[in-house]
Amino acid sequence: MNTIRGDAFLRADGRKGIRNTVAVVYLVECAHHVAREIQLPFREADVHLIGFGGCYPNDYAFRMLEALCTHPNVGAALLVSLGCEGFNRRGLLDAIRASGRPADTLVIQETGGTRSSIERGREWVRDVKRRLEATPRGPLAPHELVVGTICGGSDGTSGITANPGIGRAFDRLVADGAACIFEETGELIGCERVMAARAATPELGQMIVDAVAKAARYYSVLGHGSFAPGNADGGLTTQEEKSMGAYAKSGSARISGLIKPGDVPRAGGLYLLDVVPDGEVRFGFPNVNDNAEIVELVACGAHVTLFSTGRGSVVGSAISPVIKVCANPETYRSLRDDMDVDAGRILEGRGTLDEVGAEIHRLALAVAAGAKTASESLGHQEFVLGYKRFDQVGPACHPAYA
């Protein structure tokens, strides 16, 4: 077996982590400050802050936090509750404990308020970090990896250099047996027919067409596509032009399944993540920014995310490292410290698409082996989670499991 590392973090469900992070989780905005203060002294010691701001309960938000707190990169979780919010904190705690991870809940209203909650929380984190030193370790192979991809701050170079470069890396990872996930059906408007032709079955192809039609409807009601002013400054004119470029990230593998946020692929292959809510339009934009999409990829089990940018995004993520692939050579020169791969060099005759694809593939495995990405080293741990509603996927979405 081809081994990436011998000391991956082994979890009770059989999945393996490339990091051993402690998640400090606020369950309503009212507990955010206390959770942030608990995390602060440990922010460079693999303790990450995540959470949900809303007071009203939401099945999607519960499912996301459950998936994130039991993600293979997470070793333990501390839930921070104000005490009166709608979030089902007992259900979440039970789910995390059932996964074999140390977990506890700190209820601020029952712990004497801000100061004593922060002290108690920090003690808990210090103690659990000692316990995590005994986490079982073992070998990790490429076929055990889940890798996501996203683009942010796209421009006219994204679809020519970084996105097809990531596509080549995805082809290599799929060949390794890894599960690879691409997403944002709203950024695939215009590509639905070509994409459907790559689906493992005609039924899956039709579901992909339907998912993109749902995205087009959703964005039409909102009156705004997944398109930012900077995209146009960078030479992109229309949603479908951006889509064609974004689509190149998926590479050329057969599409094995259509998943929704929180669904973890059960086998290797290429998966499309449908991020647009089901049913009537509610709660606003499907994903308010790039990090909302990254969080959903992580909830689908992504160990690492390949992030393509042309204008120059600097974000990273909580829980799973983000590899920045810079499409535009001018952007790379001005934001060099934030970038991991100079894919724009293709435009200047300093490399080929195949070389860039091979470099991204190598780097993904190196990061899985423990190497830090640029955004990790700079301390980026962005996290955002909002309200959504999804129906569960049917069996036709996973023909390979049938």
Partner 1 sequence: MHVIHLSPLDNVVVLARSVQPGDTVEIDGRPVAMRGPLGLGHKLALRRIAAGTKILKYGAAIGSATCDIEPGEHVHLHNMRSDYLPTYTLDGARLYREGR
Judged by the rule CB under 8 A, the positions of this chain that interact with partner 1 are: 155-160, 189-191, 194, 216, 219-220, 223-225, 227-229, 232-241, 244-245, 248, 310, 328-330, 347-349
Q: Residues 6 or more apart from 234 whose CB is under 8 A from it?
A: 154, 155, 156, 157, 158, 310, 311, 328
List Cα–Cα distances, 289 to 166, 309, 315, in angstroms: 21, 14, 11
Q: Could you tell me the end-to-end alpha-carbon distance of the chain, in angstroms, rounded to an integer?
A: 27
Name the strand (E) or helix (H) holding 126: helix 114-132
**Residue 77 or 189 with smaller CB distance to partner 1:** 189
Complex with partner 1: residue 29 or 330, whichever CB lies closer: 330
- Strands of the sheet containing 137-140, edge to edge, are 16-17, 5-10, 137-140
The CB-of-310 to partner 1 minimum distance in angstroms stands at 7
What is the closest distance, in whole angstroms, from the C-beta atom of residue 212 to partner 1 in the complex? 10
Strand locations in 228-298 (E): 255-259, 269-273
Please identify, using beta-carbon distances, which residue of 264 and 346 lies nearer to partner 1: 346
Taking the complex as a whole, the smallest distance from the CB of residue 184 to partner 1 amounts, in Å, to: 14
φ/ψ region of 161 (left if φ > 0, alpha if ψ in -120 to 50, else beta) reads alpha
Q: For residue 142, what are the contacts with CB-CB under 8 A and spacing of at least 6?
A: 2, 4, 173, 176, 177, 178, 365
Q: How far is the CB of 197 from partner 1 (least distance, A)?
A: 13
Q: How far apart are CA 185 and CA 73, in angstroms?
A: 26
Shortest distance, CB of residue 281 to partner 1, whole angstroms?
A: 14
Nearer to partner 1, 103 or 248 (CB): 248
Burial letters 323-345, b for 16+ CB under 10 A, else e: bbbbbbbebbeebeebbbbbbbb
Q: Which is nearer to partner 1, 244 or 315 (CB)?
A: 244
At its nearest, how many Å lie between partner 1 and the CB of residue 192? 11
Strands of 146-151's sheet in order across: 255-259, 269-273, 179-183, 146-151, 304-309, 322-326, 341-342
Q: Which is nearer to partner 1, 190 or 268 (CB)?
A: 190
For partner 1, the closer CB: 85 or 290: 290
Query: Which is closer to partner 1, CB of 17 or CB of 156?
Result: 156
Q: How far is the CB of 278 from partner 1 (least distance, A)?
A: 20
Distance of alpha carbon 71 from alpha carbon 65, whole angstroms: 10
- In angstroms, give the least distance from the CB of 224 to partner 1: 6
Amino acid at 41: P
